[in-house]
Amino acid sequence: MKEDKKGLKKKSEEKPKEADEARVSGLKGLNLVRRGLYAREEPDDLKQRREALKNLGISRRPKGDLEQAGDTLASSRFKNMALLRARRTGRVVRFGIFLLVGIFVLVWAVAMTVWYRSTLKVTEDNVAVLIEAPQEFTAGDEIIYRVEYRNDSRVDWRDVEVILKPPRGFTYRGSNVELEPSGKEYIYQVGNLASGDTGEVHLRGQLVGEQNETAAIRVEAFITPVNFPSGRFSKTVAQATTITALPLDVGLGIPKDAANGERVVATVSVRNLSKHDLKNVFVRIKPAEQIELATSDVDFTNGFDSQNSGWSIDTLAALESRDYDFVFYVSGQPGEKRIIDIEAVLRQDDEEFTQRQLSHVVSVSASELVIEQVFNGSSDPIVAGAGEQISGQVKYKNVGTVGLKDVIIELAFKGNIFDPASINLTSGAYDPVGRKIVWTAGTVPELGVVQPQQGGELNFSFNMMPLEKINREIDGGKNNLLVTVATIDSPDLPAPVGTPRKVLSDRAVVSVGTDLLLTTDAFYDDGRLGLNSSGPVPPEVGQTTTYTVRFRLGSTLNDVGQVRMVAGLPDGVSYTGQSYQTTGDFSVNDRSGEIVWSVPFIEGWTGRSRPPYELHIQVAITPGENRQGEAVELLNRAAGEGQDLFTDKTVGSAGGAFPSTATAVTGQGEVQ
């Protein structure tokens, strides 16, 4: 039994051994298959490493069946390295993808946040301002600027303000909204403007300028976003308009030639070509130095501004035309040229806009005769008083090289301010129909033939119209002129073929000046003007009596400016402080007794056809015993002076007899 047991035991031990060997043999075969499958996929560094470990005798086997197989490829450190690296790479790729997706999401979120915030931010581009204006324009016409403003942001605005700055030469005429003028700018307070809202401002007016001038309007808009109340944003835009046409047309009627010293009458015509009225038109004459304007000539159109050398037109209606005559004298040698420049401008504030510029050339021509007038010994314009006698002379001379026969000289009177009945002649005759004096060889034999370098004088005299005969209805009875025109003619005067013979002339002017009226008187006042006289009449020794002294000012014919009257109170006469005046200012010096009355302007005929200007002052006297039986003078001097605004001459007047207590109350002026 023991043997059987041993045999059984031995057999039982042999069977597992055989089974193990078979299993190892199968594993070896499996390993060989694996080696064949993965041999090409093993990296070189892994092979080198495995060889190195093998040479060192190191062989780490994993637990389990593979350890018994003794295969180092079955080690956990060396299992399928390519697969592990692929898995590791996959994890890295997946992590990178997740990271990129996260970054993308983060960037997208930030971008969306920035974009959203940007939609709530206001920039200059969000302030839309558009200007509509004509590209070409005719100066003087009416222009309309249309300005559109718009909120292109996503934020509402408040305190919106639009400022319009029109070009120079613009005159405001109206708007569709209420504008606040500020200097030369116009402000529109819009107020609140919601997101996407828009509005318009129309600026209408007259625009003037010069040819080809570019007139630009500037518009500036100011806004404050509701989400940024401390901020203030603005935008400025501009729009230009070119002035391509002008509204004024100018024509000239000026002779092409004139003799040395000859009087020449010329005409300037100005016309408004537009359909709108033109304001502040100015026509200017700019003669050369050798041309003298005779502004005092009767044919010279009134209203000429000597300082600016031209005429002002307040309003020139649409399509209206006006003519302006001017007289000038040319000096120079035959053949020389003289230039006269003419300008038509539009004035606005302190600026001028030139509309037309023309130049005219006058040639100095040869003259065979010279004629000149002299009044009261002067060849210049003179000023005479009403009723004054004027002595005159007409001087003539042949300055040519040949004799002239049958010479006729005429002197024509223009104006009603002289007295024809007073004309006194030593030769010649007065023609009442033509209102002229004519001299011929019939009464002046020397005029039969006037030899070269020969001349002569013709004498006469006349009186100006007396003051009482001057017609009040003609020009208001003031600013009267007498113009005399002397002409000389001979059939022998040379003339170019096809042109009329030139008759030489000379013109003289006599202006009638005014007289300043000043009268003084005194009276015991009854209080009608608030000045009550008091005290005994006649005055008594030691008693105070008050009187009213009255001054009156006027002008006989013309307007008078800057009138100043000075009077004096004698010693013993004092001013009480009570007064009354119709115009002007006055003062009394208590120490010297001087009275000064200043009147800026006295209209012509004041004191004649209209009441005089008056000054009343109350004075007081307290006579002493030494004046008993005498009349007391209330003034000891009085004189006035002013400027005749027509003749530009100083005129004056004395007060005449001075008032006293005797003239104040007739028969009761002597001190008792």
How many residues make up the chain in this entry? 672
Which tokens hold the place of 588?
A: 């009394």
Give me the domains of the chain, ranges plus CATH numbers.
2-79 (no CATH), 124-245 (2.60.40.1530), 252-365 (2.60.40.10), 369-512 (2.60.40.10), 516-664 (2.60.40.1170)
Helix (H) or strand (E) holding 275: none
* Segments in the chain below pLDDT 50: 1-3, 5-12, 38, 61-79
> How many other C-beta atoms can be found within 10 angstroms of the C-beta atom of residue 126?
19
How many alpha carbons fall within 13 Å on the CB side of residue 402? Answer: 7
Phi first, then psi: give them for residue 420, nearest 5 degrees: -60, -30
Contacts of residue 621, defined as CB under 8 A and 6 or more positions apart, other chains included, come to 539, 544, 545, 547, 572, 573, 574, 632, 634, 661
What burial letters (b/e) apply to 241-264, b meaning 16+ CB within 10 Å? bebeebbbebeeebeebbbbbbbb
In this prediction, residue 26 carries a pLDDT of 58
| Block residue for tokens 């314009």 | 381
Please say whether the beta carbons of 564 and 519 come within 8 A.
no
Question: For residues 35 and 15, what is the distance between their CA atoms, to the nearest angstrom?
Answer: 30
Question: For residues 609 and 477, what is the distance between their CA atoms, to the nearest angstrom?
Answer: 10
pTM of this prediction?
A: 0.56
In this prediction, residue 495 carries a pLDDT of 66
In this prediction, residue 56 carries a pLDDT of 63
Which tokens hold the place of 405?
A: 């026969």
Beta bridge partner(s), residue 224: 158
In this prediction, residue 552 carries a pLDDT of 96
In this prediction, residue 80 carries a pLDDT of 58
Contacts of residue 381, defined as CB under 8 A and 6 or more positions apart, other chains included, come to 296, 508, 509, 510, 511
Question: For residues 338 and 71, what is the distance between their CA atoms, to the nearest angstrom?
Answer: 133
Please say whether the beta carbons of 577 and 621 come within 8 A.
no
Nearest alpha carbon to residue 552 among 598, 483, 607, 501: 607
Put the strands of the sheet holding 389-398 in their side by side order: 369-375, 389-398, 455-464, 418-425
Tell me 123's DSSP state: -
In this prediction, residue 284 carries a pLDDT of 96
Nearest alpha carbon to residue 502 among 489, 516, 520: 489
Q: Kindly report the CA angle at 106 between 104 and 111, in degrees rounded to 5? A: 90
- With residues binned 3-state (H G I as helix, E B as strand, rest as coil), the percentages for the chain, rounded to 5, are 20, 45, 35
Contacts of residue 156, defined as CB under 8 A and 6 or more positions apart, other chains included, come to 192, 193, 194, 195, 225, 226
Q: Kindly report the CA angle at 320 between 315 and 324, in degrees rounded to 5? A: 80
